[in-house]
A and B are shown apart, each in its own frame.
Chain A
Amino acid sequence: MQVHDTARELANYQNEPPQLRSGSFGKVGMVRLGFEPRPERTVLSTLHRRAPLIVQQALYWDEEMPALPCVSITSNAGGVLQGDRYLVEIEMAPKTQAHVNTQAATRIHEMDANYATQTQNLTLGADSYLEYMPFPIIPHKHSRFVQRTHISVDPTATLIYSEVLMPGRKYHKSELFQYDVFSSTVSAARPDGTSLFTEKFIIEPVLTNVSRLGAMGSFDVFGNVIVLTPKEHADRLLDAIDPAFDKAERLAIGASRLPNDAGLVFKVLGMETAPVNAAIRKFWSRVRQQVVGVPAPEKFLWA
């Protein structure tokens, strides 16, 4: 993996950490998951991992979809540190289904040198179905993080990929939007390479007030869900969504059709994680109902 990242937004952060060098042993985490169909259920048939990223066996805990392997990506580093370079790859063979999440929020720790990056490659074969729903990301003060997500999606497959971005450690010295860089690029293409869309945003609260009207406004938490699915599903889902600016609840929700009939993007702005997660859960359940025919499972009692 490339250790030195040439992204413009990282130009000012190329100094090496005084601790372990960037991209050195223990700083390059990797997970490669491959799912294949079996007569009764989908199985996790390929598993490569490199600490600090860890994956154990697939579990089948989803009562609505008992054949769905659920895989949790965990970390033994307690978060993302300066100089870390992560790679997550998920490959869905035709006619497979899987749910992948993380075990807890991804904390991007405070930085005083260098940056961290994560590359995600998601590949969805014909008629496959992937729910990739990591826990929220918490970028701490002065953290710099660049994430690139490349998606290859068959026209018959469905992906739901959600991301929730916190403003920082809100209840730790009211740390709101004090990170240096949060950059995310999601781009999708068909298996033959035909590009579908790209969403890139760079948030640099130190340079530009992110709480400006039109950007985050007075909201703190940003949820972004990308659903790549055949057009008939996307049309139905869009019809069912009531976009709203709810001032009493301080929650804003909206969805839009992606370019080139790729699917939908669903956005939520809120003050806390719980209402944003609840809105995403409701939408997730709708997607699942539309595509698979069953709702999302009940929330865990401890969640």
Chain B
Amino acid sequence: MTAMTILTNNRTSTVTDLTDSYRRLPEVLHLLQFGDSALPIGGFSFSNGLESAIQEGIVSDAPSLREFVLTVMHQSATSDGVALLCAHRAARSRDIETLMIVDRATFERKLNEETRLMTVRMGRKLTELADAIMADPLNHEWLGRIKRAQTAGTHPVSLALVLAALGVEARDAFGAQQYGIATTILGAALRLMRLSFVDTQKILLEATGTVAPAYEKVLDAELNDMASFLPMVDILAAVHVKGHVRMFMN
């Protein structure tokens, strides 16, 4: 730790640009496991608004898909991203009351129904999964509160709890969440559009490149700073709720 501090000071840098060589291998593997799109928490049944965007002809090819992914990720960084960072801070200090406040604020900022459904469904499943595979008292207590309907159980809070328990840093947890948003949309795209894996992997590579700058912008943001502006996606979600042909839940 001391060596690390000295090194970073010499480079006049902050803790946010620690190079990956300082990250322990177990942390890298935890990130791979919980950032994986195949994590069985139901992400595959959501498209983050892509399904109706395709049905309405707004997203039709790789360039429009790329734009859609980047916009949603950008807005997610300033909303769910901030929620995750606030929850991570609270989880680190084992402060369950603050976690409840973060969870409520996150839920109340989801103004469309399908997004609310997605966040609480994935949040609960992740907390259940974590409770089954690792022994963390805070996560266990959190699951109890979700089950007793004392808290909504949004996904950013669940992810922060799991990753904080595994010793993953806030920045990396933020990265895992942003990565998850990109892979959810791109995974849905492969099933909804005529695209190749090469197209989606190319978009994913560009999308992951936006995560570090996005983190720099929100690293010290607080709960009241959570904001997003996606009126088009909101309207698409409304169209989707009333749609007749649906493969995805949002």
> With A and B bound together, what is the CA distance between A198 and B233 in angstroms?
18
Residues of B within 8 A of A195 (CB): 104, 108
Which of A196, A214, A254 sits near B67, CB closer than 8 Å?
A214
- State whether the Cβ of B37 lies closer than 8 Å to any Cβ in chain A: no
Which of A185, A247, A257, A269 sits near B235, CB closer than 8 Å?
A269
- State whether the Cβ of A296 lies closer than 8 Å to any Cβ in chain B: no
Contact A260 B227 (CB under 8 A): no
Q: How far is the CB of A152 from chain B (nearest CB, A)?
A: 15
Contact B229 A256 (CB under 8 A): no
Contact A198 B229 (CB under 8 A): no
Given A245-B236, A267-B234, A269-B231, A199–B109 Cβ distance below 8 Å? yes
Contact B105 A201 (CB under 8 A): no
Contact A245 B104 (CB under 8 A): no
Residues of A within 8 A of B230 (CB): 214-215
Residues of A within 8 A of B49 (CB): 214
Contact B235 A254 (CB under 8 A): yes
> With A and B bound together, what is the CA distance between A195 and B237 in angstroms?
24
Contact B105 A198 (CB under 8 A): yes
Which of B57, B64, B110, B113 sits near A247, CB closer than 8 Å?
B57
Interface stretch of the complex, out of A16-24, A46-54, A75-83, A216-224: A216-224
Residues of B within 8 A of A196 (CB): 108
> With A and B bound together, what is the CA distance between A256 and B241 in angstroms?
9
Question: Which residues 240-264 of A have a CB within 8 angstroms of B?
Answer: 241-245, 247, 252-260
- State whether the Cβ of B31 lies closer than 8 Å to any Cβ in chain A: no
**Can you name the residue of chain B whose Cβ is closest to the Cβ of A217?**
B232
Interface stretch of the complex, out of B68-76, B134-142, B162-170: B68-76
Question: Which residues 42-90 of B have a CB within 8 angstroms of A?
Answer: 49, 53, 56-59, 64, 67-68, 70-72, 74-75, 78
Q: How far is the CB of B133 from chain A (nearest CB, A)?
A: 31
Residues of B within 8 A of A236 (CB): none
Contact B232 A252 (CB under 8 A): yes
> With A and B bound together, what is the CA distance between A260 and B225 in angstroms?
21
- State whether the Cβ of B179 lies closer than 8 Å to any Cβ in chain A: no
Contact B221 A257 (CB under 8 A): no
- State whether the Cβ of B242 lies closer than 8 Å to any Cβ in chain A: yes
- State whether the Cβ of A28 lies closer than 8 Å to any Cβ in chain B: no
Residues of B within 8 A of A265 (CB): 111, 234
> With A and B bound together, what is the CA distance between A258 and B64 in angstroms?
29
Contact B109 A208 (CB under 8 A): no
Q: How far is the CB of A106 from chain B (nearest CB, A)?
A: 19
Contact A200 B226 (CB under 8 A): yes
Contact B231 A267 (CB under 8 A): yes
Given A196-B108, A198-B105, A217-B58, A256–B232 Cβ distance below 8 Å? no
In this complex, the member of B58, B221, B231, B242 whose beta carbon has the largest number of chain A beta carbons within 10 angstroms is: B231
Contact A243 B67 (CB under 8 A): no
Q: How far is the CB of A253 from chain B (nearest CB, A)?
A: 7
Residues of A within 8 A of B242 (CB): 242-243
Given A208-B74, A219-B232, A256-B238, A214–B109 Cβ distance below 8 Å? no
> With A and B bound together, what is the CA distance between A8 and B242 in angstroms?
37
- State whether the Cβ of A202 lies closer than 8 Å to any Cβ in chain B: yes
Contact A201 B67 (CB under 8 A): no
> With A and B bound together, what is the CA distance between A264 and B110 in angstroms?
12
**Can you name the residue of chain B whose Cβ is closest to the Cβ of A268?**
B235
A210-B229, A256-B112, A256-B234 known; 18 other A-B pairs, CB under 8 Å?
A8-B221, A8-B225, A200-B227, A202-B78, A202-B227, A212-B67, A214-B53, A214-B67, A214-B72, A214-B232, A215-B71, A215-B75, A245-B58, A252-B235, A257-B113, A259-B107, A265-B111, A269-B232
- Could you list 24 A-B pairs, sorted by A, with CB under 8 Å? A8-B221, A196-B108, A198-B105, A200-B109, A200-B227, A201-B227, A201-B228, A202-B78, A212-B67, A212-B70, A213-B53, A214-B75, A215-B232, A217-B58, A241-B238, A242-B242, A245-B58, A255-B238, A256-B111, A259-B110, A267-B238, A269-B231, A269-B232, A269-B235
Report, nearest first, the 7 A-B pairs whose CB atoms are least far apart. Answer: A254-B238, A254-B235, A214-B71, A201-B229, A243-B238, A200-B227, A256-B112
